[in-house]
Structure 1
Amino acid sequence: MSATATAPPPSPGAGTTADPTRTPRRTGRPRSRAVPVGVALVAASLPMFMATLDNLVMTTALPVLQVELAASLEQLQWMVNAYTLSFASLMIAAATLGDRWGRRRVFVAGITVFALASVASAMATDAGTLIAARAVQGAGAAAVMPLSLTLLAGAVPAARRAMAIGVWGAVSGLGVALGPVIGGAVVDGIAWQAIFWINVPVAVVAIPLVRRALPESHGHRQPLDLVGLALAGTGVLSTVWAIVRGNDDGWASTRVVGGLLLGTLLLAAFLVRENRTAHPLVPLRLFRVRSFGVANATALLFSVGVFGIVFLLSQYLQVGLGYSPLEAGVRTLPWTAAPMLVAPIAGALAPRVGVRPLLTAGLALQALGLAWQGALVGGDVVYADLVPGLALAGIGMGLTFAPSATAVLADMGADDHGTASSVNATVRELGGALGVAVLVAVFTAADGTLSPTGYTAGLQPAMLAAAAIVGAGALLALLMPRATGRGQAVALH
């Protein structure tokens, strides 16, 4: 459930993602004839769709995995978070390596890693093996996502680039919307393992297509900040692990307090490192721009609230209301599919009215939709009662995506667009991991269990907590400068 702004090239030492509106430097022998735009679109979008789909495709399979792999609620969380944390932590690093070693080369390597990890996931016979395979799968996705748009931009003529980027963005949104539905259909019709096996033929088709249709290119070659990468990755992992363990071990236990303290110290060390190194992963000076800081803060709160509830709601539809995986996936569509209709409207409105009113309204509608559902799930409820809340949340999400993407880049210099876009994508993915950990902690603290009667007890306070978190994002959006985004076009993916 994400929308990321397109990214022009970074300045020396400032970023990792190249400009989709400029043709990157190509290497190797020139092609004898131009590749049709449609072929380039498929080559860039197919792997990206695969990586986007796997963000949510597992959600409707979680109750089945809980039974077949004898997985605990904590293990179910890590099946999702292992992918998300690996994806988020390595995205900027993968883009940097693409700039140095060749974007197409790293892109193909990412597809290969993703496919092999999908095979390992499908063959897993216990929860621990599946969690480990999902972490590797996330590493592959980290190389796919930031490079697909840059490669597409270099493969199509400048006159058709805006159209290609728009189609690419629609495909990304489709992956989000169809993730729970496809996951449910595959689990119902075949088996849970098939949600991973389907990635293999996609990769087999995609790799030669990428090599044929997308030209190799390089960007600014800067050193990779391995120390910063290690500090950030282990800091976030320690923090999430401590939150996940909080209810079981006790929030005052040595392990939980130690994990939170270690995570805090590592993240503080990361900030110190980024402020001093010549080639930071995340240039902290960007956060001095108010529109960028507010956009990332609201994106974090949005992801914490929304991703955590998607994790719980997809299971509630099966465990609490008795739907099959496919039926549950279809019933998420008022929420997950609405942005595909609303986001283009918000994108058209943003240059006229600015980012602030759209972003504030979008987050407020999502908070209202979550609160609506939270107020109902505590008693006797049927699915139809939840539809207005799901629709409100979906409309709000659609209003959020385009303005947020605009705000990330609106007041940035062109040389910083790549870094700004990559940082925002990473913030949202990390927010998703934190959201699953935090809201499941609320669920568990309220005596929620993976049973028809116990699920409702925990879901209501978790849903209301998510509404409060997203509502805080709406209030924070009021700090966005009034003029941000006016007169500027929106570019989404």
Structure 2
Amino acid sequence: MTVPPTSTGASGSGRAPSTARQVLAPLALAQFICSFAGSNMNVMINDISEDLDTTVQGVQIAITVFLLVMAALMIPGGKLTDRYGRKRCLMAGLAVYGVGALLSAAAPGLGVLILGNSILEGIGTALLIPPVYILATLLFTEVVSRARAFGAIMALGGIGAAAGPLIGGLISSALSWRAAFVFQALVIVVIIVLARRIEDPLPPDPTRDFDTGGAVLSAVGLVCLVMGILAADDNAWLMAALLLIGVLMLLWFFRWTRAKERSGVEPLLSTSLFRDLTSNLGLVTQHTQWLVLMGVSFVVSAYLQVVRGYDAIRTGAIFTAATAGLLVASLGAERLAKRYAQRSLIMVGFALTVGGIGVLLGLASGSPSPWALVPGLLLVGLGLGVMLTPSVNVVQSSFPEEQQSEISGLSRSVSNLGSALGTAVAGTVIVADPAVGAYAAALIVLGVIGLGGFVAAAMLPRETGSR
């Protein structure tokens, strides 16, 4: 896509607009490839499971672990940018991600695929994504210009997630599912070349402490929570145990953080980040958006492949509707930000998305043609495209420069936790196979969660991001 030109955003960082324009391209591409990695495997489930002699559930675990590693390490990844610098963390993350993509392409079995895709690509993403949003926030200082920048970044991110099934399907059908990982590695090389022109807006501070204990506690807590949800269809006792451990670890992390703050030592995550109601509600909407996006993507992909017997290309082609809706809405982020309050945009986005899920349920159940899914997917894409950018803008704009590394890591962690939970919740409901039908039940659950996001958006201050 053509990245929208930026006319401002340099005022707060002392950079010329042309520099900001050059920086935006690699930042947006970085978000694209990470989002693409989270969804493109959905249409290659059968091919991968047959080639690696594993099960559909095994591939689902690989997908979920990738999303989970991102969510668990995003907060530490954001904090590392203060100590080592935003550009250095970006480049290191790209390098780790590229190695993981190549290892996945050559994987002889599920274990190596999980190491390359789920672990290394997950770690690389956790290192490179926080700098993307920190740099965008520092370079673009006004609501409209920042909306334009986030619009470009979120547009490519949403396209990566929504078009991942189509692109992955085309590549895997024409060549092999392994070629999809080679494609990721090639995009990483392009990003590295483009990112060389980036100059860090703020100097790194090597003297900054890094809270290793807090990083471990937060990561283990998040991992146990999601793994507990994944265990719901296999073992109720294991599920309860993992959920309990997750909650206890996160409570320990909170007490650990408070103790560090009282002693004057910098924690991994300042509790002051949670004292801003607007930011908290924005984080809830971000989490819900990505949960619904990845959940719907997984449910519809699995339905088309398992129930309708569609191959990767036809499955991906149907998802083009969601991609088109998301692209159109995201590219209009600047124009929408000028005319409407961001609270209104987020509410409209959730209304469209939940309505799209309702259309999916209604038309798909009453029509033998899988193309009946297109109108619903189009509405889902439009809804997500309308609200992804304002949600990020609400959160990032709630804090000053010195807290951008923390809030960026927290924001991305919350969003990626939503992605992981979306796949986990949808997969769990499908496996449970309730009386109303596995796929219908999963969509109903996602629709109810989307309504929760609408309520959170309605609680945002009316003047949030208003023109």
- Which category describes the TM-score, using the shorter chain as reference length? 0.7 to 0.9
The 1:295–1:248 alpha-carbon spacing in structure 2 relative to 1, beyond 3 Å, is: same
Q: Which one of the candidate residues 292, 317, 326 is aligned to 2:313?
A: 326
Letter in 2 for 1:65: I
**1:482 correspondence with 2:440:** no
Q: Which moved more, 1:101-110 or 1:357-366?
A: 101-110
Superimposed CA distance per residue, residues 94-149 of structure 1 (whole angstroms, 9 cap, x where no aligned partner): 23323322333332221211111112111222223212222211101222222245
- Aligned residue-pair number: 448
Correspondence for 1:463 = 443
Correspondence for 1:232 = 218
TM-score normalised by the chain length of structure 2 = 0.85
Correspondence for 1:136 = 120
The 5 A counterparts of 1:144-159 are: 144-148=128-132
Partner SS state of residue 198, structure 1: helix
1:98/1:106 contact within 8 Å kept: yes
Instruction: Measure how far apart 1:185 and its partner are.
Output: 0.7
Correspondence for 2:173 = 188
Correspondence for 1:210 = 195
Q: Which one of the candidate residues 429, 435, 440 is aligned to 1:442?
A: 429
Correspondence for 2:62 = 79
Inter-partner Cα distance in structure 2 for 1:202 and 1:126: 24
1:358/1:399 contact within 8 Å kept: yes
Correspondence for 2:183 = 198
1:238/1:260 contact within 8 Å kept: yes
The 5 A counterparts of 1:418-429 are: 418-429=405-416
The 5 A counterparts of 1:92-491 are: 92-134=75-117, 135-148=119-132, 167-211=152-196, 213-215=197-199, 218-220=203-205, 222-249=208-235, 251=236, 253=237, 255-278=238-261, 279-345=266-332, 347-378=334-365, 380-413=367-400, 415-446=402-433, 457-487=437-467
2:346/2:387 contact within 8 Å kept: yes
1:58/1:180 contact within 8 Å kept: yes
Q: Which moved more, 1:163-172 or 1:334-343?
A: 163-172
Letter in 2 for 1:181: L
1:407/1:484 contact within 8 Å kept: yes
2:154/2:389 contact within 8 Å kept: no
Instruction: Measure how far apart 1:66 and its partner are.
Output: 2.8
Instruction: Measure how far apart 1:378 and its partner are.
Output: 4.4
The 1:104–1:349 alpha-carbon spacing in structure 2 relative to 1, beyond 3 Å, is: closer
Inter-partner Cα distance in structure 2 for 1:44 and 1:108: 11
The 1:47–1:366 alpha-carbon spacing in structure 2 relative to 1, beyond 3 Å, is: closer
Q: Which moved more, 1:408-417 or 1:470-479?
A: 408-417
Superimposed CA distance per residue, residues 125-178 of structure 1 (whole angstroms, 9 cap, x where no aligned partner): 22232122222111012222222455688999x9xx877776555444443343
Inter-partner Cα distance in structure 1 for 2:389 and 2:150: 14
Correspondence for 1:30 = none
Correspondence for 2:3 = none
1:151/1:215 contact within 8 Å kept: no
- Which ranges of structure 2 fall in alignment gaps of 5 or more residues? 1-8
Instruction: Measure how far apart 1:275 and its partner are.
Output: 2.9
Superimposed CA distance per residue, residues 366-415 of structure 1 (whole angstroms, 9 cap, x where no aligned partner): 11211221344446531232222112211211221133123214544454
The 1:37–1:346 alpha-carbon spacing in structure 2 relative to 1, beyond 3 Å, is: closer
Letter in 1 for 2:462: R
The 1:38–1:323 alpha-carbon spacing in structure 2 relative to 1, beyond 3 Å, is: same
Inter-partner Cα distance in structure 1 for 2:92 and 2:177: 26
Q: Which one has a larger percent helix, Structure 1 or Structure 2?
A: 2
Partner SS state of residue 308, structure 2: coil
TM-score normalised by the chain length of structure 1 = 0.81
Letter in 2 for 1:233: A
1:377/1:459 contact within 8 Å kept: no
Letter in 2 for 1:338: G
Inter-partner Cα distance in structure 2 for 1:93 and 1:374: 40
Inter-partner Cα distance in structure 2 for 1:351 and 1:395: 18
Inter-partner Cα distance in structure 2 for 1:168 and 1:368: 25
Correspondence for 1:5 = none
Q: Which moved more, 1:259-268 or 1:121-130?
A: 121-130
Instruction: Measure how far apart 1:59 and its partner are.
Output: 1.8
Superimposed CA distance per residue, residues 293-346 of structure 1 (whole angstroms, 9 cap, x where no aligned partner): 111122222322331221121222222233321221121122133122113445
Instruction: Measure how far apart 1:197 and its partner are.
Output: 1.5
Superimposed CA distance per residue, residues 72-104 of structure 1 (whole angstroms, 9 cap, x where no aligned partner): 343222221221122222223223323322333
Inter-partner Cα distance in structure 1 for 2:136 and 2:391: 23
Inter-partner Cα distance in structure 1 for 2:372 and 2:353: 16
Instruction: Measure how far apart 1:418 and its partner are.
Output: 4.3
Partner SS state of residue 108, structure 2: coil
- Which ranges of structure 1 fall in alignment gaps of 5 or more residues? 1-18, 26-33, 449-455, 488-493
1:355/1:485 contact within 8 Å kept: yes
Partner SS state of residue 390, structure 1: helix
The 1:386–1:50 alpha-carbon spacing in structure 2 relative to 1, beyond 3 Å, is: closer
Letter in 2 for 1:190: L
Inter-partner Cα distance in structure 1 for 2:194 and 2:466: 39
Q: Which moved more, 1:359-368 or 1:38-47?
A: 38-47
Q: Which moved more, 1:314-323 or 1:116-125?
A: 314-323
The 1:165–1:22 alpha-carbon spacing in structure 2 relative to 1, beyond 3 Å, is: farther
The 1:360–1:165 alpha-carbon spacing in structure 2 relative to 1, beyond 3 Å, is: closer
The 1:47–1:386 alpha-carbon spacing in structure 2 relative to 1, beyond 3 Å, is: closer
